[in-house]
Amino acid sequence: MFHALVSIKQVPDTTNIRIDPETNNLIRQGVPTILNPYDAHAVAAAVEWKRKLGGKVTIITMGPPAAVTSLRECIEMGADRAILISARQFAGADTWATSYVLTEVIKEIHSKDPVSLVFFGKQAIDGDTAQVGPGVAVRMDLPVVSYAVKIREVNLEEQYVIIERKTESRNEVIKTSLPTALTCEKDIAEIPYASLPDLVYALRYEPEVWNAESPITFDPAQLGLKGSPTTVFKTGTPEKHTAGEVFKVSEVGLDGVIKTALDKILGVEGMASMLGVQK
């Protein structure tokens, strides 16, 4: 049976984050949390293949209790089962400690209900690390296909998958045996409109909650802040740049503005010869 597992993250919508100019602190209040956009596309791809092949989709997330809203969103999209992994001990985890917990959880699920594909978004928009997917794959010794843009074939009989991934210069088509881990670009699948039965199912669905003791236990030394090789030493706000002169077309006139702009541009070293124009 096809069993897709998708690891998702609830993130603050970074396009709406502002900095308090007086304290330099992040203003989190009023910033909406969303399902990480890349993860949403990964869920869409998992559901799409479930519809083709039969089977089911399981969603997992490590996060605070509020993350159930993102899990429910995945159920609306057509996922069947959702698990929230939540405990104080997990807090402050870097990518290493995060991949440890996810690996233990996925192994447990896999032992009861073998997994064919483990999906991740290519990165989360709050941390932008892109490290958790490859980290889990290494811990589980699974093949990993990162920056996946298309799943071409899932062959359950012969237990292989063919995935197209993007590199900086071209796309590569990779064949691996199941189970395989993949990290997804948005191209992997369109977000579907939720069907009525899925909406109704999601409405009543209560995600399972796993904590640090049950149903599986973890090595406490590898959890959260304590289990993280990297720690934040300090934080700050980005350097401010000095602003240059601003000209208003309505005041200076279009001709004047354009001439000034070009004169300044041609003053940049090497620019005149690059453009084939004299200073």
Partner 1 sequence: MSRRFWVYIEQEDGKVHPVSWELLGVARKLADQVGEDSIVEGILVGHNMEEAAQECLHYGAETVYVVDDPTFKNYLNKPYTVALTALVKKYAPEVFLVGATTLGRDLAGAVATSVGTGLTADTTHLAMGEIKEGTKKLLLATRPAFGGNVIATIVCRNHSPQMATVRPRVFNPSPRTEDAKGQIVREKMEITPDMINAEIVEFVTNAAATVKLEYADIIVSGGRGLGGAKGFELIKKLADELGGVVGSSRACVDAGWIKYDHQVGQTGKTVRPKLYIAAGISGAIQHKVGMQESDFILAINRDPHAPIFDVATMGIVGDLYEVIPALIKEIRARKEAQNG
CA distance readout (Å), 132 to 44, 62, 183, 196, 237: 20, 12, 9, 33, 26
Q: How far is the CB of 42 from partner 1 (least distance, A)?
A: 16
Q: Which stretch binds partner 1 (CB under 8 A): 65-73, 108-116, 161-169, 203-211?
A: 161-169
Q: Which residue among 75, 83, 93, 145 contacts partner 1 (CB under 8 A)?
A: 145
- Tell me which amino acid residue 222 is: Q
**Which residues ranging from 173 to 202 are in contact with partner 1 (CB under 8 A)?**
173-177, 185-186
Token pair recorded at residue 10:
């609830």
CB of 243 to partner 1, least distance (A): 5
Main-chain dihedrals φ then ψ at residue 64, nearest 5 degrees: -70, 165
CB of 22 vs partner 1, minimal distance in Å: 15
Binding-site member from 53, 92, 110, 164 for partner 1 (CB under 8 A): 164
Q: Which two tokens stand for residue 229?
A: 């090789």
Q: Does 21 bind partner 1 (CB under 8 A)?
A: no
* Nearest approach, Cβ of residue 190 and partner 1 (Å): 11
From CA 95, how far away is CA 118, in angstroms rounded? 17
Contacts to partner 1 from residues 210-229, by CB under 8 A: 228-229
- Segment 1-20, which members bind partner 1 (CB under 8 A)? 12, 14-15, 17-19
CB of 1 or CB of 265, closer to partner 1:
265
Write out the H or E segment, with its range, that includes residue 148: strand 144-155
Relative to beta strand 10-12, strand 33-35 is: antiparallel
- With CB under 8 A as the contact rule, the residue among 63, 78, 121, 133 that binds partner 1 is 133
Single-letter code of the amino acid located at 220? P
Q: How far is the CB of 53 from partner 1 (least distance, A)?
A: 21
Cα angle 227, 7, 116; round to 5: 115
Q: 35 - beta bridge partners?
A: 10
107 sits near partner 1 (criterion: CB under 8 A): no
User: Contact, 77 vs 35, CB < 8 A?
Assistant: no
Q: CB atoms < 10 A from the CB of 140, how many?
A: 19
Q: How many residues bind partner 1 (CB under 8 A)?
A: 87
Please give the Cα distance from 97 to 241 (Å, whole number).
Answer: 36
Task: Tell me if 199 sits within 8 A of 72, measured CB to CB.
Answer: no
Residues 29-88 that bind partner 1 (CB under 8 A): none
Mask of contacts with partner 1, 240-279, x by CB under 8 A?
xx-xxxxxxxx---xx-xxxxxx-xx--xxxx--xxxxx-
Binding partner 1 (rule: CB under 8 A), the pick from 94, 116, 148, 184 is 94
Q: Give me the least distance between CB of 14 and partner 1, in Å please.
A: 3
